[in-house]
Structure 1
Amino acid sequence: MRTSLNNLKLAEEYLKGQATPGDALLFEARLIIEPELQEQIQQQQHAYRLSHQYGRQQLKAQLEEVHERLFTLPRYAGFRRLVLGIFGKR
């Protein structure tokens, strides 16, 4: 169990570019001689990409909600006019 936690820590440091040069070199050597470690790294990279993509989708949804509120609710009419005045056609 402890070994897998150490591997996870080393893998995260390596993938995030936070590993020391020596640790990175040793980790790269392990990737060459341990195919299962290489597979784990690929899976971890995939998980990072999915997590990042999900975060972007959530942020986009939140921004859309704010936009919808600011530009449709009557109480924000003054703000809407101000923004359109700044960015509107001249």
Structure 2
Amino acid sequence: MDFYFNNLNSDQVMAFGLMWNVLPMIGALLVHLAFSAAVFNDAKKMQTEHGSLAFVNCWLWSLAVLVGGVFVALAYWVMHHSTIAKH
């Protein structure tokens, strides 16, 4: 039985492996961008309605989420929208 992968040269195998290593990075970047934009919009709205945010302004929250990802977005949510924040 002759498989397709037996006919690939080393450059093709390297490109195939590189593609599968880059795709998760692109996905993570898109998630970071999406969460950062969502936090920015929400923080801007909260800052306009309530006057202030916890610790920093909307730009810094957005930048923190862009760098830190989902965990920083979770921290933002806990500080501003959870029942813990309401007490």
User: What TM-score bracket applies, with the shorter chain setting the length?
Assistant: 0.3 to 0.5
Higher RCO, 1 or 2 (CA under 8 Å, sep at least 6)? 2
TM-score by length of 1: 0.44
TM-score by length of 2: 0.45
- Higher-helix-fraction structure: 1
